[in-house]
Structure 1
Amino acid sequence: MPTLKTALRQGRFACILEFVPKPSAARFDALASMMGRRELCGWPMTVSIGDRVGSRLDLSPLEAHASLAHPVPTLLHFSGKDRERQDLLAQLERMDAAGLDQLLVLTGDRLQGHEPGAHPVRYLESVAALAIIRRARPDWLLGAALNPFKYHEEEGGAQYFKAAKKLRASADFLDLQLGFDMAKHVEAWQWMQGQPTPKPLIACLIAVTHGRAKMLQHVAGVTVSASMLRMLEAETEVSKAFAQRRSLRRLALQITQLQRIGYAGVHLSGVHELEQITALEAAIQACQAEIDDQAQWQAAWDEAWHMPGVAPVDFRPERAHWALGQAQVEPSFKEATRVRLLSALHHQVFGGTTPLSRAFAWLVRRPLWRSARGGRWLHRLERAAKRPLVGCDTCGRCRLEQTLYVCPETCPKGLANGPCGGTRLNRCEFGDRECIHSVRYRTAKADRVAALASEALIDCVEVESRHRSSWPGWFGATQHTVEPEAAQPENMNRLEHEVR
């Protein structure tokens, strides 16, 4: 049976079947029945095994793979929530032992029980994880996520900015967040075609009913508009069977159109029984037989989202209509002034060419600070100086210059390279703040020279370096990025063109 790696290399449309591993023999039997088909509409199937999706009772992806009755093409997930570099490297070893070489690398949504201000939880960011894996396993198939279903410029632009980093960190394909707005699917496809080396896109889809839509409203990063809910509720009021037929029709239409656009495959969520796969295949074949061009597809899509007496469906949230290429925001005076002042201060203190920076370098490299006691005092001094100014958590290797002086430690997940997919209208997934990467996006418009530094791929903060002073490292040979090369102005110009 062909693997996903083989299908993508051959340019074959692929079907990924999502499986959330729970200790249930019935679930594994149902999966075996579905994967026994090997194909959907002639497209090779791969099972995608989720990692830390829901309950702590979920099996790990490797445990789930070991529980499969028969070998099938498998794409394991690796979620970085509550994980460190050593956890990732250990999983690579276990995958080698199991003969697995396909991995979808995710930062992960909010860890169950993680509350801001409580005990901190580390999230191994996907960009850093991709770079770690690629160095260790050059020939593996690596995927990463992209959420194009964003309707404010800051969060949308920041999503594409981070997606570009994932490609530079050697992702072989991008797997989209679950979404229904086909205009955003087209947007993501067009963005990918504009990249220096376009990679395959795979779309995550689900047959959506009113019940599922209400549940998805609480899933980080999934957009369900009010008009969608009203239409889906009207379907349910006719009958449950009617609503299910309509949801299957919409899913088949999405798959048909995405293949026509040029997507490399689909990632199916919410398919749990063999009968569902069989019915979906029949619905797809019916769509393929009746639809010959874009006009026919659009008419069928509009009809599938229409109910008599119900207002037309708009997939966008109310009063949030941003699309890639539109410039709608500018930095505030405070944001613009802040980055320029802090950039100037950084140059004076850490640039190495000014009298102040040379004096500071001499001071912090004294033998006094190399003792355990001296190191603790230097750490306290740095924390006292920087925490009121930037929210510093003294991670031991300061990344402020590369994050436009917005400290990544003020993100509940500690993300430095860009946002997770869980934001909603610029709000953090945790709901208590604006996403810091939306602030960074606006700030980048204030100082393009400073913004060049933010293109670097920023490595994870190692356990042994945390809660130590970063000051001596500025004047040594410490590397602060995953990649040694500096960002080039032409790259920033390209990015500016993409997000505007």
Structure 2
Amino acid sequence: MLHFSGKDRERSDLLNQLGLMKARGLKQLLLLTGDRLPGHCPGQAPVRYLESVPALQIVRESCPDWLLDAALNPFKYLEEEAEAQYLKARKKQRAGADFFTLQLGYDAARHLEAQQWMHAQPHSTPMLACVMRLTAQRAAALQSVPGIVITDSMRQMLDSETRLSQDDADTRSLKRLALQILGLQWMGYAGIHLSGVHTLEELLLLEQHLTALRERVSSLDAWHSEWRASWQLPGGPEVCFTPDIDVRALGRPGARATDSEHRRYRRLATVHRLFFQRGSLLSRAFGWLVTRRIWKTTIGGAALHAAERAIKRPLVGCDTCGSCRLQDTVYVCPETCPKGLANGPCGGTYLNRCEFGDRECIHSVKYRLAKSADRLPMLAQTLIPCISADDRHRSSWPQWFEADASKPED
């Protein structure tokens, strides 16, 4: 299964990749937005990522018979970031994903939650789970990887296990891997993506452990008991798989837009309705003004671009992408995401914080606003296309009014 990451990539890069794959008879592809590009700093020149939703659409249109995979990260522990992941997963289904591969994780409750979510969808899509033979050394490395949750108590247990006996720690890690695979099978996962097993000897031992476990563990409830015991050392503290926050707040549906967020949304919705909802008197007048031929000249186009940027950048952080998507993102500008993502979050958020660590994820803000404004279905149904680099840094206003009048409106 080849992977395509959208880091600093355009539609043309993906189409070139498809051409190379077709020439080799390859027809399977995992589409990812990608984690942070090395050296990418938000305060410097922006880097835009080809996000997975439009990438899936592009490949499905070009290659209708291919097998397409998409990612899902259910290991999120605040309502906004968790629900935003599932809303985007619904978009990925609509865009053409044949199945999902989950992020690497060890929280069985979140694995089970993802399966329950999928079963509740109108059209169920098979899911694979990423699993890795976890050692103390790997846990230390993974703890800094965006989107992967390795808690301090997990590391402490693995470190203690290794100090007691390296051989015993190796055996226990392989048994835990076998146990996790069996649990995922009980939960209904279609398969696994296996890593951390590098030799034939390890693979054969893994199979032996699986065979023994299948004979002993006969239900998901029995599996849960075995799983908890596998993470417990005699006399040691209990291991927790969730981040160190108030566990009573986990999963509690209380996320709402603040008063200031809601006021801002209402103001921008009013401006959009007055100036951009086709049919109103003010909208017709504004549309007539910005579609004059003068704005198609080099000087006129530059002036209109400068005017739009001067108005919208202080209001929403606009970077004049040339095709405004605010009406589809509850007036939270996608350009304020360091990756420029419009359809939903990447998998790298942590407790609502952006992978870059300098801001709250804009998609958590979008979720709160959409929930408060009763517009959550839009975040699951509206597939927002990618923006070409050639279209950026020009006014979006003429295009909006010259577009087909049948374009969906607020």
**Normalising by structure 2, what TM-score?**
0.96
2:229: which partner in 1?
Answer: 303
> How far apart, in 2, do the equivalents of 1:94 and 1:320 lie?
49
Whether 1:359 aligns to 2:285 is yes
> How far apart, in 2, do the equivalents of 1:147 and 1:453 lie?
17
Q: Match for 1:165 among 91, 105, 122?
A: 91
Letter in 1 for 2:346: C
Letter in 1 for 2:67: L
Whether 1:394 aligns to 2:320 is yes
Q: Match for 2:157 among 231, 247, 250?
A: 231
Write out aligned runs for 1:209-358 (5 A): 209-321=135-247, 326-358=252-284
Mark the CA change 1:91 to 1:399 in structure 2 (over 3 Å): closer, same or farther. same
1:46: which partner in 2?
Answer: none
Residue 445 (structure 1) shift:
1.9
1:153–1:323 CA contact under 8 A, matched in 2: no
Mark the CA change 1:198 to 1:453 in structure 2 (over 3 Å): closer, same or farther. closer
2:110: which partner in 1?
Answer: 184
How many residues align structurally?
A: 410
Letter in 1 for 2:403: A
Greater mean deviation of Cα atoms: 93-102 or 205-214 = 205-214
> How far apart, in 2, do the equivalents of 1:388 and 1:368 lie?
26
1:102: which partner in 2?
Answer: 28
Mark the CA change 1:376 to 1:454 in structure 2 (over 3 Å): closer, same or farther. farther
SS in 2 for 1:433: coil
Q: Match for 1:120 among 46, 49, 53?
A: 46
Mark the CA change 1:429 to 1:450 in structure 2 (over 3 Å): closer, same or farther. closer
1:404–1:440 CA contact under 8 A, matched in 2: yes
Residue 276 (structure 1) shift:
2.2
> How far apart, in 2, do the equivalents of 1:300 and 1:280 lie?
17
Structure 1 gaps of 5+ residues are 1-74, 489-500
2:88–2:379 CA contact under 8 A, matched in 1: no
2:64: which partner in 1?
Answer: 138
TM-superposition CA deviations, 1:40-99 (whole Å, max 9, x none): xxxxxxxxxxxxxxxxxxxxxxxxxxxxxxxxxxx1001011110000001111101111
> How far apart, in 2, do the equivalents of 1:181 and 1:144 lie?
20
TM-superposition CA deviations, 1:267-314 (whole Å, max 9, x none): 012222222222211221121122122333222111100012321111
- RCO greater where, 1 or 2, for CA within 8 Å and sep 6 or more? 2
> How far apart, in 2, do the equivalents of 1:487 and 1:171 lie?
27
For the aligned residue pairs, the C-alpha RMSD in angstroms reads: 1.9
Residue 449 (structure 1) shift:
4.8
1:198: which partner in 2?
Answer: 124
Mark the CA change 1:322 to 1:442 in structure 2 (over 3 Å): closer, same or farther. farther
> How far apart, in 1, do the equivalents of 2:107 and 2:43 lie?
35
Letter in 2 for 1:96: K
Residue 485 (structure 1) shift:
8.9
Mark the CA change 1:485 to 1:357 in structure 2 (over 3 Å): closer, same or farther. closer
Mark the CA change 1:449 to 1:211 in structure 2 (over 3 Å): closer, same or farther. closer
2:69–2:97 CA contact under 8 A, matched in 1: yes
Residue 486 (structure 1) shift:
5.7
Identity across aligned pairs (percent)?
56
Residue 355 (structure 1) shift:
2.1
SS in 1 for 2:180: helix
**Normalising by structure 1, what TM-score?**
0.79
2:68–2:97 CA contact under 8 A, matched in 1: yes
Mark the CA change 1:253 to 1:451 in structure 2 (over 3 Å): closer, same or farther. closer
Residue 135 (structure 1) shift:
0.5
> How far apart, in 2, do the equivalents of 1:487 and 1:288 lie?
55
Write out aligned runs for 1:72-87 (5 A): 75-87=1-13
Residue 337 (structure 1) shift:
1.0
Whether 1:456 aligns to 2:382 is yes
SS in 1 for 2:207: helix
> How far apart, in 2, do the equivalents of 1:389 and 1:308 lie?
58
Greater mean deviation of Cα atoms: 395-404 or 439-448 = 439-448
2:133: which partner in 1?
Answer: 207
SS in 1 for 2:237: coil
1:82–1:124 CA contact under 8 A, matched in 2: yes
> How far apart, in 1, do the equivalents of 2:140 and 2:91 lie?
33
1:104–1:144 CA contact under 8 A, matched in 2: yes
Letter in 2 for 1:273: T
Q: Match for 2:399 among 462, 473, 496?
A: 473
Residue 119 (structure 1) shift:
2.1
1:343–1:450 CA contact under 8 A, matched in 2: no
2:87–2:379 CA contact under 8 A, matched in 1: no
Mark the CA change 1:170 to 1:360 in structure 2 (over 3 Å): closer, same or farther. same
1:443: which partner in 2?
Answer: 369
TM-superposition CA deviations, 1:383-421 (whole Å, max 9, x none): 000000000000000001101111001000000000000
Write out aligned runs for 1:24-103 (5 A): 75-103=1-29
TM-superposition CA deviations, 1:219-241 (whole Å, max 9, x none): 11001112111211111111221
> How far apart, in 1, do the equivalents of 2:248 and 2:291 lie?
49
Residue 322 (structure 1) shift:
7.8
> How far apart, in 1, do the equivalents of 2:116 and 2:372 lie?
27
> How far apart, in 1, do the equivalents of 2:60 and 2:195 lie?
28
Mark the CA change 1:379 to 1:77 in structure 2 (over 3 Å): closer, same or farther. same
1:16: which partner in 2?
Answer: none
2:330: which partner in 1?
Answer: 404
> How far apart, in 2, do the equivalents of 1:453 and 1:471 lie?
23
TM-superposition CA deviations, 1:167-221 (whole Å, max 9, x none): 1111000100000001100000000011111000100011111111111111110
